[in-house]
Amino acid sequence: MSSLNLDDFTDLIERPDGGMRRDAEERRARFAVPPGGLGRLDELGEWLSAAQGAVPVRPVARPRVVLFAGDHGVAGLGVSKRAAGTAAELVREAVEGGSPGAVLARRLGVGVRIVDLSLDCEPDELPEAVENRRVRRGSGRIDTEDALTPEEAEQAFRTGMAVADEEADSGTDLVVLGDLSVGGTTAAATLVAALCGTDASVVTGRGGDPIDDLAWMRKCAAVRDALRRARPVLGDQLQLLAAVGGADLAAATGFLLQCAVRRTPVILDGVVSAACALVGQRVAFRAPDWWLAGQNSGEPAQAKALDRMAMEPMLDQGVKVGGAAGALLALPLVQAAAALAAELPEAEAPR
């Protein structure tokens, strides 16, 4: 029997410090720049103060990109322009610095951590920089079989928790969360449709490399069939991840929840991280208070998940490529909000 009790997260996760947020709001009211003049940057600065438990807010000095990598058997149905089992190519591109996310991370001076959960290749075929935490080689085809066994789902979930602890212990003060997967958006759409009670066509998008109408219909059919398998296990989020998620998604969900336990803020990237966040919200309703939506990718499942969590994306750039590229675009906004909240002078008192 599993020793992992997801209900514990409800007790372990507290909201960011409301008292600190009120102190930050009072301090902001004394600035020479009038309230509202900085738009959403004011809100971000106050959120950071609450997350850090500090007024004035500290700079975001040690951000980190974390990417969970995996292949999904459902990609074999032709639901993506990329061939099934080729997520390792995305990983190599990221490690070699040629992916959009890698370019942005390099420009912003942010370290990137790539964790292999279920890539469909031999581990020694991957660059040394890739961290081997593999649960299995490729997740199962969710339209006809479970993505993972219950034991694999727990192992992946615990791996994500462990990565969150390692980041917190190393001093990471903000995480930019993304994925490197082939078939991951199909699993993500299934999770969102299941948790929001919607039909496959409502949540199925065309992916980072847009698919044509025939591929989109195949993807809709895959989500529809996977939904039939998801609905009976909606009451158990770990079973749900085993049935229609995958090792990388289970790890990302465990990671997000443990980041909330450790009071580590996270910027979500696209539809995959949004789907994992939605699963996390079902586990612990306070957890989303620790997460920010980086940008609107244009994927319908992401929009549905963020709406359900009452999260508004910081940017609306339509970046769908994954690899944390969209979330990295939002990182300078968070850093700017911290700098303004900490450094703007207070207005002089009238004489």
Look at residue 350 in the predicted model and tell me its pLDDT: 57
Give the residue numbers spanning the domain of 54. 8-58+338-343
**Phi, psi dihedrals of residue 33, rounded to the nearest 5°:** -70, 125
CA nearest 82: which of 219, 199, 251, 270?
219
Mean pLDDT score, 210-220: 95
Q: Is residue 196 part of a domain?
A: yes
pLDDT, one tens digit per residue, over 272-296 is: 999 999 999 999 999 999 999 999 9
Q: Cα dist. 91→100, 127, 240 in Å?
A: 12, 8, 26
Could you tell me if 95 and 151 lie in one domain? yes
- What is the domain count for the chain? 2
Query: Residue 312 has which token pair?
Result: 């508004």
Q: Is residue 1 part of a domain?
A: no
CATH at residue 321: 3.40.50.10210
Asked whether the beta carbons of 81 and 34 are under 8 A apart, the reply is no
Q: Is residue 320 part of a domain?
A: yes
Q: How many helices (H) and strands (E) does the chain have?
A: 14, 6
CATH at residue 52: 1.10.1610
Look at residue 349 in the predicted model and tell me its pLDDT: 59
Look at residue 111 in the predicted model and tell me its pLDDT: 98
Q: What is the CA radius of gyration of the chain?
A: 20
Look at residue 168 in the predicted model and tell me its pLDDT: 98
Could you tell me if 150 and 76 lie in one domain? yes
pLDDT, one tens digit per residue, over 231-261 is: 999 999 999 999 999 999 999 999 999 999 9
Look at residue 197 in the predicted model and tell me its pLDDT: 97
Could you tell me if 153 and 12 lie in one domain? no
Confidence of residue 351 (pLDDT cuts 50, 70, 90): low
CA distance 223 to 221: 5
Asked whether the beta carbons of 201 and 285 are under 8 A apart, the reply is no
Asked whether the beta carbons of 265 and 174 are under 8 A apart, the reply is yes
Question: What's the residue count for the chain?
Answer: 351
Asked whether the beta carbons of 341 and 33 are under 8 A apart, the reply is no
Parallel, antiparallel or unpaired: strands 174-182 and 131-132:
unpaired
Look at residue 208 in the predicted model and tell me its pLDDT: 78
Mean confidence (pLDDT) of the chain = 96
Could you tell me if 41 and 103 lie in one domain? no
- Counting residues of the chain whose pLDDT is more than 70, the rounded percentage is 98
Could you tell me if 127 and 248 lie in one domain? yes
Could you tell me if 79 and 49 lie in one domain? no
Asked whether the beta carbons of 186 and 82 are under 8 A apart, the reply is no
Query: Residue 113 has which token pair?
Result: 């951590």
Report whether pLDDT(312) > 90: yes
Could you tell me if 67 and 171 lie in one domain? yes
